[in-house]
Amino acid sequence: MEASIKQLRMELKEILDLVSQGATVTVTKHGKPYAKIVPVTDGVAAVGHETIYNLWKDRDDIQDPTQYVHDQRRRDRSR
Q: What is the tens place of the pLDDT at every residue in 48-72?
A: 555 666 776 777 888 887 888 888 8
CATH class entry, domain 1-46: alpha beta
Q: Which pLDDT does position 4 carry in this prediction?
A: 96
Short-list 34, 1, 33, CA closest to 17: 1
Q: Which residue has the higher pLDDT, 73 or 47?
A: 73
Beta strand extents in 1-79 (DSSP E only)? 2-4, 25-29, 32-37
Residue spans of the domains in the chain: they are 1-46, 48-79
The predicted model scores a pTM of 0.52
Q: Which residue has the higher pLDDT, 6 or 55?
A: 6
Residue range 10-31, pLDDT digits in tens: 999 999 999 999 999 999 999 9
